[in-house]
Structure 1
Amino acid sequence: METTIKPTLLFVHGAWHVPDSYGKLTSALRTAGFEVHLPRLLSMNESRPPNADLADDSDLIRSYATSLIEAGRDVIVLMHSYGGQVGTNSLYGLSKKARSAKGLSGGITHLIYMAGSASADGKSMTYLVEVFGHMDKMPIAFGFDENQSCVPNYPKEGLVGEPYADQLDPEEFKAYIATFVRSNGKCMYLPLQNTPAWRDDVKLLYIHTLGDLTLPIDYQRNMVQYMEKEGKTVQTVELESGHCPNLTATKAVVDAVVNFTSE
Structure 2
Amino acid sequence: MPSASKPAIIVIHGAWQTVLVYYPLLEALSANDHYDLYIPHLRSCNSPPSPTTGLADDAAVIRTELIVIRRVDPSRKIILLMHSYGGAVGSEALNPNFGGRGEIPGGLEDIYLVYFAAFMIPRGFSCASAYVDPSYRMTLLEDGAMIPKDPGDLFFNGLPEDVREQEVRKIVKHNARAMMDCVNFEAWRELGLGKGPQGEEGRLRVWYVVFEDDHAIPESVQRRFVQAVRREGVLVRETSLKVGHSPFRDEGAVKALLAVVSEVEEEMEAMS
- The answer to whether TM tops 0.5 is yes
State percent identity of aligned pairs. Answer: 28
The 1-side partners of 2:106 and 2:87 are apart by 26
Structure 2 counterparts to residues 225-240 of structure 1, below 5 A = 225-240=227-242
Task: Tell me how far 1:93 sits from its aligned partner.
Answer: 4.4
Q: Which residue of 2 aligns with 1:54?
A: 55
Query: Any idea what SS the aligned residue of 1:201 has?
Result: helix
Q: Which residue of 2 aligns with 1:7?
A: 7
- Conserved? CA contact 1:18–1:181, under 8 Å: yes
Query: Any idea what SS the aligned residue of 2:185 has?
Result: coil
Task: Tell me how far 1:256 sits from its aligned partner.
Answer: 1.6
Moved more, 116-125 or 103-112: 103-112
Query: Any idea what SS the aligned residue of 2:66 has?
Result: helix
What TM-score does the superposition give when structure 2 sets the normalisation length? 0.81
The 2-side partners of 1:20 and 1:237 are apart by 25
Task: Tell me how far 1:48 sits from its aligned partner.
Answer: 4.6
Among 96, 112, 122, the alignment partner of 1:120 is 122
Task: Tell me how far 1:106 sits from its aligned partner.
Answer: 8.5
- Conserved? CA contact 2:112–2:191, under 8 Å: no
Task: Tell me how far 1:125 sits from its aligned partner.
Answer: 0.9
Moved more, 244-253 or 34-43: 244-253
- Conserved? CA contact 2:4–2:72, under 8 Å: no
Runs of 4+ with >3 A deviation: 3-6, 103-108, 172-175
The 1-side partners of 2:147 and 2:110 are apart by 32
Task: Tell me how far 1:147 sits from its aligned partner.
Answer: 2.3
Aligned residues: 242
The 2-side partners of 1:75 and 1:48 are apart by 29
Where structure 2 has 5 or more consecutive residues not aligned to the other structure, the ranges are 98-104, 193-204, 268-272
Q: Which residue of 2 aligns with 1:165?
A: 159
More helix by share: 1
Where structure 1 has 5 or more consecutive residues not aligned to the other structure, the ranges are 95-102
**1:180 corresponds to 2:171:** yes
Q: 1:30 to 1:121 in 2, by over 3 A?
A: same
> What amino acid is the match of 1:165?
L
**1:81 corresponds to 2:72:** no
Q: Please tell me the root mean square deviation across aligned C-alpha atoms, in Å.
A: 2.4
Task: Tell me how far 1:42 sits from its aligned partner.
Answer: 0.9
Task: Tell me how far 1:15 sits from its aligned partner.
Answer: 0.6
**1:26 corresponds to 2:20:** no
